[in-house]
Structure formats: structure tokens, C-alpha cells
Structure 1
Amino acid sequence: MAYRRTEAVVARLTETRERIVDAALALVARHGYGGTGIPAIAAEAGLSTGALYRYFPSKAELFDEVFRRGSQREIDVCAEAARQPGPARERLARVVEVFARRALKGRRLAWALLAEPVDPLVEADRLRYRLPYRDIFAGIIEDGISAGEIAPQDAVLTASAMTGALNEALIGPLAPQAKRTDQDMLIAGLARFCVQAVGPDPRSSRKDRP
């Protein structure tokens, strides 16, 4: 008869796996991928190195899970900000501010998620995890178009450009060797850029007509 894991065993394995990921995420947030080793993660999780490898056969697989877990947390926060009521441009600015302010507050983790050199496995996920941000912006833009607040346009194209611009604009300020910047000015500039990217309010031009 094949061995079947009991619910208690499955729960214990799941809890241990979660503890490993939480420990790795905490260490990456402090030291980045390059400064975080498997022995340190195992010690943080209260395990031996050998026991850890039973859950994650390679460092790349563990770091990929860390990346996905950390990225999803940020996506969820931005999605919640996008769901708050208000005009489309106000919602765009709110999401940009939430994204940028959280990145600048947790600089080491943000650098790891956005730009730190990583294993190809993590790099592939890094590209895929840009899509949810694009979809958040595209959804707001589409709402604005439906409400007549934003002129008709390719919402996905505009949102893709916004997502790429935000990532690129934050890489410099987040870099480990970067000097501290005026965060409020940086965030305001990013929000202004994204709001202007959707074009002028079409209702203003209609009001100016005789």
C-alpha cells in the first residue's frame, strides 16, 4: 500500500516551507540576494542546511519563491489602492505613490525585486510580474475612458509604457550606492509623468468650445 501523508504531516510540511520562505524573504530584505546564503536562511528558519534542501533543491528555486512572494505582496497593495474610488487620474497618481513610496521605504528589498542581478529563473519571473502592474494601470485607464475622463487610446500600450518607465526611473534611486534623494519630489514627479501620459482631459477641450 502506498504511503499517504496525514493532514497533520501535510500541515507540518507546509508550515516549515512557509517558515523557510519567510526567513529567506526577511534576509533578502536586509541583505539582498547576493548577501543571503542558504546556511543563514536555514539558521533563521531554525533548520539544518540539509533539511532546507529537502524543501528547496536549489538556491535558485528558493529565491524564485521569495521573489514571487515579495512581488505579489506589492501587487496586492497596489491593486487595493487602485480599487479606491475617485477620478482616473487621481487613482493613477495614488497607485504610483503607493508603489514608489513602498519601494523607497524598503529600498533593499525593492532593489532585489526590480534590478539586482539574479538567476535566470528569477529573471524570467521578474518579466512576468510586470504584467499585473500593467493590468492595474490599464484597468484605471479603461475606467477613465468609459467615464469620459480620458481620451480613447490603447490602454494596455499606455500602461505598459508607464510600468516600464516607473521601473526604470526607480532603479537609480534604489541602487545600493545611490545617494539619498528628495523622496517627495521624486514621487510627485513620477505621479505627474503617469498622469500626463494619458493625455489631457477631453472634457476641458469641450468646455473651451464656443
Structure 2
Amino acid sequence: MKKTVATKILFLRHAPIRDAGRLHGRSDADADCTTVTPQSGFTLAGQGIDHIVTSPARRCVQTVHALWPEGLQSDAAKLGISTDPRLWEQDFGDWEGRPHTALPDLGPMPGDTLARHAPPNGESFMDVCARVRPALAGMVAGHGGQTLFVCAHAGSIRAALAVALGLSGGQALKFQIAPLSLTVLTHFEDDLWAAAQVGAQGLTVSGIS
């Protein structure tokens, strides 16, 4: 019997932003990594991680280096790391950096309409899905049969869920992806996907063998 090739992707949303009172999408901001410990990194590495991918955002890179502070050294071997700009958070355009209290009230809006809405000079959630799709395909093509750890944003993780599970933008926006929560997707042959967990707290992994 032919053995099924499974590629596992562990998505972690970065640690909380220090300037939490403002909207940060494409704008860079520091992460508060005080609750991130190397022990969590060792626990994650114990899942057999073969490679690390991160959004170029400073908050994501800082989170990764808080997990693996000594040159990304695991118990087994030194982990490779790469950055992918397609994993950036949604670009909120003219709303970037504004206090949350100063953001416009869009009023009642169906989920799919909201997913297509773009702030002035920004991008919509569907735009995020469009750029995450090839990033996800590239991970599978380049690391088939491996386990990847990806540090990204709430928006790009929701986009990965939409792409992998065939969800509408409105459906994907309903997922709660808190800072330092873990979402696990597994890709099988024939482009089949499964979600082992979504937005789980505590950096624990279920559905991983």
C-alpha cells in the first residue's frame, strides 16, 4: 500500500504587541515576549519541526527568537529559518497606527462583505487570502512530508484556514486567533487538508504524532 505523505504546519500567532492600543497591520511594532520561554520552544521542537517560517514583521521575528534564543538550536539539530513577506498581516492603509477608539464604525456588515472591504489605501481580507494561497502551496511543495513551524498574524492564519479548508472569507473571519495561540493544519496528497486544532492556547499540540 502506498504511504500517504502528510505535511504538518504549526501556525503560531506572535506574542502580544506592546503598543496594543493601536491598529497594527503592516506597520511594524515590538512584541511583548515576557511570557514566551525557551521551554515552550523545546516543547514545540519535540514535535519534530524540520523548518521555521516567519512573517518579516518584527513582532513575529522577536517571538521566534524568544522561543529559540540560542541560534534556533533544538535538542535534535539546528533548525533552519526563512521569512516570507506573503505572511504579513493585512495592510490597513490609512487606518494603520490609529488608536482603536478612533477607527471608523462600519456598522452592520455581512461577513463576506466585510472580507471584501478594504480600508483606504489598504487591502481587504480577501487580498490577504490571495497572497497566502501561494505561500501555503510553496510550503507544501518545498517541505512535503515535513513539519513546519510558522509564526504569523491573526489575519494571515485565518487566510490559511480559508485557503486550506475551502471557507468563504466571512467564515474564516469568525475564527478567534489570539496572541500565542496555535493552529495546526495537515496537508495530504490530492491537495486534501485537515485542521487538528484552531486558536488553541498554551502552545500545546494535539493531533500530532
More helix by share: 1
Q: TM-score range by the shorter chain?
A: under 0.3
Instruction: Give the alignment's TM-score, normalised by structure 1.
Output: 0.25
